[in-house]
């Protein structure tokens, strides 16, 4: 049985996403849409309820609450490291 998740978007999730060219945006958008059915993703850090998926050199971070997933970040690895430092 495939579990469907509802997607939501946090304020500011697209700060870096908007600056990418359209082909990069399309690749990341496809991965975001896959989050509706994606079964597993790695944790951002042990004990933190934030998950990361990696479409190529990019990162998409999200939080999961029940059957809802909230996109928190989408960008390249360098931007991800900058965003990551806000939490730790």
List domains and CATH numbers for the chain: 6-84 (3.30.2310.20)
Angle at 63 between CA 60 and CA 66, to 5 degrees: 135
Contact (Cβ atoms closer than 8 angstroms) between residue 48 and residue 87? yes
Residue 6 has a pLDDT of: 95
Residues 72, 1: Cα–Cα separation, whole Å: 27
Tens digit of each residue's pLDDT, the chain (88 residues): 567 999 999 999 999 999 999 999 999 999 999 999 988 889 988 888 899 999 889 999 999 999 999 999 999 999 999 998 886 7
């Amino acid at each position: 049985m495939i579990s469907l998740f509802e997607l939501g978007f946090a304020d500011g999730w697209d700060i870096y996403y908007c600056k990418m060219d359209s082909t990069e945006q399309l690749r990341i958008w496809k991965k975001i849409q896959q989050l509706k059915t994606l079964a597993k993703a790695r944790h951002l850090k042990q004990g933190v309820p934030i998950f990361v998926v990696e479409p190529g050199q990019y990162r998409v971070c999200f939080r999961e609450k029940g059957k809802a997933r909230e996109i928190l970040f989408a960008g390249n690895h360098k931007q991800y490291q900058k965003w990551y430092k806000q939490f730790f």
